[in-house]
Amino acid sequence: MLFNIFVDNTDGGIECTLSKFADDKLCGVVDMLEGRDAVKRNLDRLERWACMNFMRISKAKCKVLHMGQANPMHKYMLGGERIETSPEGKDLGVLVDEKLNMTQQCALTAQKSNHILGCIKSSVASRSRQVILHLCSSPVRPHLESRVQLSSPQHRKDMNMLEWVQRRAIKMI
């Protein structure tokens, strides 16, 4: 609670969107030079805030994710060091790439769900329909549903991959 109160004023004077949860995010639309300059000013403000409050920003963990087809791919600095560009970013468990393609997110969801189903199959001695149904619906179904709702698979191969996991669970039941 004290930390939240302490960092509450980090967005003072920030022109771009600053998300203060889990991992802090600074987001800005950079379609013209004014947008690029605004992001640079905001990064400088955050660096000054950290220095004034005796906090250190881990620059090695800072990444820039350029999104959009006509993105000019500007370079950004934080405290005199260049921030690396990353082709993808993970936010609150969702993997997003620069083209907003969710294929990798669907593959990770299917892999994790298959792993859970494999653990259930190998560790549960009972093959009772009620037991397997409860075990599959508790950890697997919410995992699939939350990720699918968010990523909304658009390619047939992604949908087939997730449906295959569901068919495997049905066969187990």
Percentage of the chain exceeding pLDDT 90: 1
Angstrom CA distances, 150 to 82, 102, 154, 171, stand at 32, 9, 12, 26
Amino acid identity of residue 97, one-letter, is D
The pLDDT tens digits of the residues spanning 112-160 come to 889 988 888 888 888 888 888 888 888 888 777 776 666 566 778 888 8
> What are 11's two structure tokens?
């967005």
Strand partners, 25: 19
Question: Distance between CA 44 and CA 35 in Å, rounded?
Answer: 14
The pLDDT tens digits of the residues spanning 23-35 come to 566 677 777 777 7
- Pick from 51, 3, 55, 49: which is nearest to 26 by CA? 49
Beta strands in 33-161 (DSSP E): 63-64, 77-78, 81-82, 84-85, 88-91, 94-97
| Model confidence, pTM | 0.58
pLDDT at 160: 86
Domain regions of the chain by residue span: 2-87, 103-172
Question: Distance between CA 52 and CA 150 in Å, rounded?
Answer: 38
11 pLDDT higher than 80: no
Amino acid identity of residue 38, one-letter, is A
The sign of the torsion formed by the CA atoms of 56, 61, 64, 65 equals negative
Output DSSP code: residue 61.
Answer: G
Give the range among 7-16, 72-81, 99-108, 117-126 with minimum mean pLDDT: 7-16
